[in-house]
Each structure stands twice: as structure tokens, then as C-alpha cells.
Amino acid sequence: MKNTGDGRRVHRVEKEVQSVIGMHLISGFSQRLSVFVNVSKVIMAGDLRSAKIYLTVLPKWQQESEEFEIKSSSEELTSTAEVVSLLNEYAFEFQNKISSELKLRYVPKVKFYADLSTEKVIQVDSLLSQISNDNKNNTEDQ
């Protein structure tokens, strides 16, 4: 039977792993990333031996003569897949960092995944804005 305390421990460890991975991406990762990577969610197995790490990848703004440019969404999707693939190749580095930062009996095996929920929220928001604008135009025409 599962003890309710175990669920709280798993949740606490998920938050700690999220923090360690996020800080390592910012200041300690051996590879240079040309995008911003946010650790949006960590899901750990009940035995704490594996972790699914969900990432949101955002392009960096590039300033050129006072104008900001951002990559198109098709490049962004390719970039997300490339970043997830790269991080999965260097999973051992993150596992070593977790091992050195957290006192756990077993070091969780990490696997990175793209979190597409942010993109879906943006799409829904865009559709709702479009519907709202269409409704305004229809009421003005009448």
C-alpha cells in the first residue's frame, strides 16, 4: 500500500530536481545554448529512480539596429527538438549534478521531453483574439 507521505516526498524531490536542473542549465551546462530553456515540469517515478523532465524552449531576442527579431515558429519547433535531443545526449551530466546536489539513495535516470502546452496556450489565445475581433467587426457593421 502506498503511504500518503511518499507522495509528498516525491513532490518535494521533483521540485528539488527541477531547481537543480534549471540552475545547471543557467550556469553549469557544458554546451552553449542559443535559446532560453525553462524546466516547466518534472515527473518522478514513485521509487525516485527515473525522472521525466519537461522543457519549454524559447528563442533569444537578437537586437539589430533597434529592432528585435525572433525566429519563426517552424524554426522554433526544430530548435526545440534539437535542444531536447542535445540534453538527452548529455543526460549523464545532469544526473551527476543531481547526485552532487541532492542526497538521494539512487540517482534518478533523467529523460528530457518538449513541453508543448505553452504553444497550445498561445494558439488558443490567438484564436480567441481572432474571434473577438471578428465579433467586434460584425457588431460595427450592423
Q: What is the per-residue pLDDT for 65?
A: 43
The yes-or-no verdict on residue 41 having pLDDT over 70 is yes
User: What pLDDT shows up at residue 78?
Assistant: 47
The Cα–Cα gap between 136 and 4 comes to 51
Q: Return the pLDDT at 72.
A: 44
pLDDT in tens, 49-97: 999 999 988 876 654 444 444 444 444 444 788 889 999 999 999 999 9
Quote the strand ranges of the chain, DSSP E. Answer: 35-44, 50-59, 62-64, 67-69, 109-114
Sketch out the chain's domains with CATH numbers: 4-116 (3.30.300.20)
Query: Is the pTM higher than 0.75?
Result: no
Residue with the larger pLDDT of the pair 120 and 29: 29
List, in order, residues 6 or more apart from 101 with CB less than 8 Å away: 16, 20
How many Å separate Cα 100 from the centre of its chain?
22
Strand partners, 38: 56
pLDDT in tens, 27-38: 888 888 878 888
DSSP state at residue 108:
P
Length of the chain equals 142
Hey, what's the cell of 35? 535559446
User: Which set of grid coordinates corresponds to residue 120?
Assistant: 497550445
Q: Is the pLDDT score of 5 beyond 50?
A: yes
**Mean pLDDT, rounded, for 15-27:** 92
- Binned at pLDDT 50, 70 and 90, residue 128 comes out as confident
Task: Answer for the pair 87, 21: CB distance below 8 angstroms, yes or no.
Answer: no
Which band of pLDDT confidence, cut at 50, 70 and 90, is reported for residue 7? confident
pLDDT in the model for residue 134: 79
Identify the pLDDT of residue 142.
64
3-state secondary structure of 9: helix
